[in-house]
Chains A and B, each alone.
Chain A
Amino acid sequence: MNLSATPFLRAMFAVVWKDLAAEWRSRELVSAMLVFALLVIFIFNFSLELNPQMRAGLTSGVLWATFTFAGTLGLNRSMAVEKDRGCLDGLLLAPVDRTAIYFGKLLANLVFMLLVAAIVLPIYAILYNVNLFNAGFLLVILMGSWGYVAVGTLLASMAVQARTRDVLLPILLFPVAIPVLIAAVKASSGYLSAAPWADIVPWINILLVYDVVFTAAAFMVFDFVVEE
């Protein structure tokens, strides 16, 4: 079966292709996220005056705070592009299941967030002499990013309708994203400190449940969120 031939997947991949192609041309979103992420890391470093021992313990918290702030910037920008030229109406006029649009935006946002993580992690590892190349830690980055982007894409589609969208998204998103961020920080910390699997698995379970619940919730409510 050619999956891309089904209307849902065809529309979803069309949205992903469109977002990646537009970003490849402008490089506005990823470059803004990346510069912001690097600045946040440096600010944390200088403001906390971390010594090597403390730094190892705080790495996961600093990294997730960085991904969260940079991710919010990207989510806002990703939906603002749709709204500013009326393109959101263009998407909503298409005769496809609107959740295909949601999943297309989610996947594109996930790619941008993982791309930023893929650049930030080696830089952080080199600058602060921390080994971040751990398969478990990278899995947590993937699961945490999915959960954050799943709920963030939904709330960004809601916030973009408001005049105060730039401030509204973090206000809506951060309280809802607290469980995924706590679980991601704890699980990341566990992997980086080589904690026993039994200490990590509850946080992995929370990440898994959060990802499934919020992806399913967004699937159910996206149509109502974008309707005028």
Chain B
Amino acid sequence: MIEATHLIKRFGPKTVLRNLEFQVAQGEFVALLGPNGAGKTTFLRILSSLSRQTFGDVTIAGYSLPHQASAVRRKLGVVSHMPLLYGDLSAEENLVFYGRMYGVERLDQRVTEVLGLVGLAVRRRDLVRTFSRGMQQRLAIGRAVLHDPEVMLLDEPHTGLDQDACEMLDTVLRTVAARGRTLVMTSHDLARVQDLASRFDVLTRGRIQASIQKKDLPVDGLLTFYRQALANSTAAREAA
């Protein structure tokens, strides 16, 4: 479903992604882990067609980036730590606007379904600027799933959410994953992603340093695997 090969991204003299290789099968839920500055957000922005790779190939659902970006965008739902919502529009108006941009059919019915899914049906006519951070993020999830995308890209979606909002978000993500959709999510919350994802990739210094399926995790959990991956990366850098 997603394939990135020999991916390089440079910002001027700084190389952020270095020959990154990444494959995701349909229906997988991949948690992309790594320290700050590892290149996770840059990588997701390339996958979402918001940024262009310096070198390398990226295909999503059989379409290549950046040449078939419009076809790729139709398949994608993106959630970032910014809500991408208009504060002076109501929850319903925001979804209607994005629904028109995506050409969603039976839009009124779909908006009602999505508002129910994210638990905002009773606040549908309220302006988004009156929402808490958690409610805005729930609506952002609603915006991302409105057109029923095949692939969801989530960049630290739990950032700034309280416990209830995190659980609500997790419920929505599990619902989406259970429908066979493909998800790639960056996060620093290892305990939370250990429950959600089916595979864990560690991105450091611009490439995937380690990858493991959930069933293969060590008995002491994801944290041990993550620390080991970081230690191996540091050792490799020192050896170089």
Contacts and interface: CB of A to CB of B under 8 A. Distances in A.
Q: How large is the interface on B (under 10, 10 to 19, 20 to 34, 35 or more residues)?
A: 20 to 34
Contacts of A10: 100, 103
B98 interface: yes
Given A93-B50, A95-B73, 7 more contacts: A22-B88, A23-B88, A86-B82, A87-B84, A89-B50, A93-B49, A94-B73
Contact of A93 (B52, B76, B86): B76
Nearest to A23: B88
A86 B83 contact: yes
Given A25-B89, A228-B50, A228-B52, A18 B78 contact: no
Given A228-B45, A228-B50, A96 B101 contact: yes
B74 interface: yes
Interface of B: 45, 48-52, 70-71, 73-74, 76, 78, 80, 82-89, 93, 97-98, 100-103, 127, 143
A91 interface: yes
Contacts of B70: 95-97
Contacts of A18: 86, 89, 93, 97
A214 B175 CA distance: 48
A121 to B, nearest CB: 28
Interface residues of A, number: 28
Interface of A: 7, 10-11, 13-15, 17-18, 21-23, 25-26, 81, 85-87, 89-97, 227-228
Summarize A's interface: helix, strand, loop or mixed: helix
Given A93-B73, A93-B78, A25 B127 contact: yes
